């Protein structure tokens, strides 16, 4: 998997946004004030990374 795919993200100012973000690259999120940059970075992408990390842990650990 060479990209992180986000489909139908809806948080605060985000309304059904679809993105393909490259893995292992520095990503810069820019836009107008109030356009949902922080919601995308902290609420959506961070939460997905945290979810994947927890899923990767063994249930028997």
Nearest to residue 17, comparing CAs of 48, 40, 34? Answer: 40
The larger pLDDT score, comparing residue 53 to residue 61, is at: 53
Q: What is the pLDDT of residue 26?
A: 92
Domain borders along the chain are 3-56
DSSP 7-32: EEE-STT--SEEEEEETTS------S
Q: What is the pLDDT of residue 50?
A: 87
């Amino acid at each position: 998997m060479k990209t992180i795919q986000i489909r139908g993200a809806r948080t605060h100012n985000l309304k059904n946004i679809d993105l393909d973000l490259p893995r292992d690259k520095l990503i810069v999120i820019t836009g107008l004030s109030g356009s949902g940059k922080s919601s995308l970075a902290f609420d959506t992408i961070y939460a997905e990374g945290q979810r994947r990390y927890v899923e990767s842990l063994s249930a028997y650990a």
